[in-house]
Amino acid sequence: MKEELLHHIWKYRLFASHQLTDTEGSTIDIIDVGHHNLDAGPDFINAKIKIGDTLWAGNVEIHKKASDWNTHKHPTNPAYNSVILHVVAECNTDIFTQEGRKIPQLKLPLTPALLEQWQQLEHSPHKIACHLHLHRISDMIKTSWLEALVIERLETKASRIDSLLEQNKNNWEETFYQTLARNFGFGLNSDPFEWLAKSLPINYIAKHKNQLLQIEALLFGQSGLLQLSQATDDYTVQLKNEYAFLQQKFSLTPIDGSLFKMMRLRPANFPHIRLAQLAQLIHTSSKLFSHIVENPTYSSLKKMFAVSTSPYWETHYTFGEVSPRKTKKLGEKAINSIIINTIVPILFAYAKRKNNDELQEKSVHLLESCAAEDNSIVRNWQEMGFTATSAYQTQALIQLQKQYCQTKKCLYCRFGHKLLQLSLQP
């Protein structure tokens, strides 16, 4: 049994609370369990407990075994002199404070049903530990938990953006550009795309914004993919010449092109195509971030990001290798991914910084406008009866799976907590 389970049971009173007595037979009335202390010192502080006829105010310490009090050297620590009750699963010894005061102990009355439910969650072989019991949880609890998870996920993403913003000295356009570039890596190549953006400041590109070829030269040159190519066609040679000039002008050092991955990627997702699309987006849009803040609607974003490539890439997926002509436009699924993983988080972070509740609501609303994501996590939840109709719901399910189910944090999940509560019912 984990000690954190005992903490949870005490905190939420998930025990048979009638006729409690300490190990010496005195009645115990728990008026206030106290506040969970996550810092050093006793586990719960400012508790109020009546033992016999005496009302005590102080702290509570919790252990699996009473002897853990001594193992953890609490008798020599003055921070534990204020403990008024020792709560344990097994009482195997008397305990004393540094001052020699004997501390009352309560053997927590754990119900067999609760322990059985916990064992099922803790040792479940399934990806979703509670999946056999989800039908017992009301739709209201499911809905409210998923709503909280969406915000939790956005808060996490906003924290990353805050860190990036600090690195960029509060430059939102630069931060947006780097975040956007990362998303153009679409998972497998996210890191090298971000490293590329960090090696090539947006103001360098802005100086050549009206020349698509120069934007492409900067992006392909800094990616290192241009240097790896042995192609001798006019376009590739032109890019190399342009980059040689711009590299010297801005004192640029490209990243290693071998960092980009192409194995098991569909040709449409090759980094060359994504860089060409990013170049087109930068070329056709000015002050992207400012425009998005001013008009954060799904229709305007979809129109803005529906970019294609320059003519060369209509007949190529990599340098020098000709392929059948095809317009390589960012599709709806890719645009939705950009909105979900770039636009919404950065708008949310920006709105928090500016205390703009209206913009924050709009950022969340964008998730409701995007179609439900299709991945293994979402499909797994759908098999268990969770029908997702938008990215608002799929983002919540992804957060639940990654932050709670995969790490077996059932005690911190509202589903797990509710199931433990339900185990107390007759």
pLDDT at 259: 96
**Residues 225-237: pLDDT tens digits?**
999 999 999 999 9
Tokens of 336: 């939705």
| Residues 422, 410: Cα–Cα separation, whole Å | 14
Do 308 and 422 lie in one domain? The reply is no
pLDDT band, residue 349 (cuts 50/70/90): very high
Q: Could you write out the DSSP letters of every residue in 13-40? A: T-S--TTEE-TTS-EEEEEE--EE--SS
Average pLDDT for residues 191-196, to the nearest whole number? 98
Do 158 and 227 lie in one domain? The reply is no
Range of the domain at 385: 113-167+371-426
| Residues 158, 348: Cα–Cα separation, whole Å | 7
Do 189 and 336 lie in one domain? The reply is yes
Average pLDDT for residues 206-210, to the nearest whole number? 92
Choose the final residue of a domain: 83, 110, 137.
110
Mean pLDDT, the chain, rounded, equals 95
Choose the final residue of a domain: 110, 141, 156.
110
**Residue 30 belongs to some domain of the structure:** yes
pLDDT at 380: 93
**Residues 253-303: pLDDT tens digits?**
999 999 999 988 999 999 999 999 999 999 998 788 999 999 999 999 999
**Residue 77 belongs to some domain of the structure:** yes
Do 70 and 120 lie in one domain? The reply is no
Choose the final residue of a domain: 302, 328, 344.
344
**Residue 354 belongs to some domain of the structure:** no
pLDDT at 123: 92
State pTM to two decimals. 0.89
Do 202 and 322 lie in one domain? The reply is yes
pLDDT band, residue 426 (cuts 50/70/90): confident
Longest dimension (CA), the chain: 94
Decide if pLDDT at 348 tops 90: yes
**Residues 171-187: pLDDT tens digits?**
999 999 999 999 999 99
16-30, 71-85, 382-396: least confident range: 16-30
**Residue 362 belongs to some domain of the structure:** no
Do 186 and 329 lie in one domain? The reply is yes
pLDDT at 287: 81
**Residue 360 belongs to some domain of the structure:** no
pLDDT at 227: 96
Do 224 and 94 lie in one domain? The reply is no
Do 96 and 141 lie in one domain? The reply is no
Do 176 and 320 lie in one domain? The reply is yes
Do 306 and 186 lie in one domain? The reply is yes
Do 249 and 336 lie in one domain? The reply is yes
Q: How many domains is the chain partitioned into structurally?
A: 3
